[in-house]
Amino acid sequence: MSLAVVDAHVHLWDVDAVPLSWWRPDLGLPRAALLDDLLAVTRMAPSRVARAIAVQAADTAEEAEWLAGTAAASPFLGAVVLQYDARTDAAAWAGMAQPVIDRTEAGDIRAEAGHIRARVGGIRLATPTGAPDFGDVPGLESLARGLGASGRVLELLIRSEQLPAAADLAARHPALAVVVCHLALNGEAPDAEWRAVLAAFARQPNARAKVSGLVRGGNGDDARVRTALAHAFEVLGPERLMFGSDWPVSARFAGYGEVLERTAAALPALGADESQAFWAGTANGCYAVAPSD
């Protein structure tokens, strides 16, 4: 594969600098997953990785500021996606992330050298244990309106039973790109129910999804990934799907280059334009990523 890749789903953190509530030593994850670490593994990848989209790992304002500041220090991070944590302030449609969005739009979050401006490309709603209809998410309609009006995406970290609610949300906000992380599978087997609800979600023109977090087991798991991708490409097509490594979480199962190679091997046959869309074009369009050199 000779295309330049835009990795639409990576995480960065440093629990000694900014604690994460969910991080524990027994999870097998590093205490720090820094930009330099990401650059090191992408340089060794079998294809050139031109950009990455950094998704906030937890949900504090301190971490959101840290991530935006990290993005402002390197053009490699094309955009950041911040977590949604609702507040009672009705004017804060982005919840916890609102001050960071406001400051990046004003140009206040920049690197000391180079004057690179951090871009908040979207907000992620993480409710994999929440209500199937998103009924327990305060301010959801305001969030969707704010994102759509500002040209940002809404990411959803959800389980498959919530895909019908995602489809309804997309229908109510046709100007908003709604991006489902990990194909709403999160490592599970692609069963008939998942096929049906993903197909219904895909009927919304503004539906998007990340092919991320799928490589979990050894090579014997590749059949599950191939089956999931066959259906995802059938209902969404390459112009609405994008690659994401889910690094460094994915490193518990496979190295960065292996995740990339096994994803490529599991894809259905794609033409040149379709490959470009999947590996870079969809992400570039969703997150307004600047062209790479």
pLDDT score, position 216: 86
Lowest mean pLDDT among 99-103, 105-109, 150-154, 170-174: 105-109
**Is residue 248 included in any domain, yes or no?**
yes
| pLDDT (average), residues 135-153 | 95
Contact at 8 Å (CB) between 64 and 96? yes
* 232 φ/ψ angles, rounded to the nearest 5 degrees: -60, -40
* Number of independent structural domains in the chain: 1
Q: Tell me which residue range forms the domain holding 76.
A: 5-287
The two tokens of residue 253 are 């199962």
Q: What is the CATH number of the domain that holds 245?
A: 3.20.20.140
Q: Residue 209: exposed, middle, or buried by beta-carbon count in 10 A (0-12, 13-18, 19+)?
A: buried
Does residue 292 form part of some domain?
A: no
Neighbours of 46 (CB within 10 A): 13
Is there a domain that residue 225 lies in? yes
Q: Residue 3 pLDDT more than 50?
A: yes
Question: For residues 118-152, b (16+ Cβ closer than 10 Å) or e, as one string?
Answer: bbbbbbbbbbeebeeebeebebbebbbebbbeeeb
DSSP symbol at 84: P
In a domain, 293, yes or no: no
- CA separation for the pair 89, 97 (Å, rounded): 12
Q: Which residue has the tokens 């991708």?
A: 229
Mean pLDDT for 204-215 is: 97
pLDDT for residue 75 is more than 80 = yes
Q: Please check the confidence at residue 196 and state whether its pLDDT lies above 70.
A: yes
Instruction: Judge whether residue 114 has pLDDT over 60.
Output: no
Q: Is 286 helix (H, G, I), strand (E, B) or coil?
A: helix
At residue 112 the predicted structure's pLDDT band, cuts being 50, 70 and 90, is very low
Quickly state the pLDDT bin for 1 (edges 50, 70, 90).
low
Q: pTM for the complete prediction? A: 0.94
Structural contact between residues 33 and 12, judged by C-beta atoms closer than 8 angstroms: yes
| Residue 116 located in a structural domain | yes
Mean of per-residue pLDDT scores for the chain: 92
Q: What is the β-pairing status of strands 178-180 and 207-211?
A: parallel
Going by C-beta distance under 8 Å and a sequence separation of 6 or more, which residues neighbour residue 105? none
Edge-to-edge strands, sheet with 178-180: 5-10, 49-55, 77-83, 120-126, 153-157, 178-180, 207-211, 241-243
Q: Round to whole Å and give the CA distance between 258 and 264.
A: 10
Share of the chain above pLDDT 90, in %: 82
Token couple for 205: 């023109």
Q: For residues 71 and 68, what is the distance between their CA atoms, to the nearest angstrom?
A: 5
Distance from C-alpha of 72 to C-alpha of 243, rounded to nearest angstrom:
23
> Cβ(23)–Cβ(29) under 8 Å?
yes
11 falls within a domain: yes
Residue listed under structure tokens 């590093």: 30
- In degrees rounded to 5, what are phi and psi of residue 155? -95, 145
* Tokens 């990455």 -> residue: 52
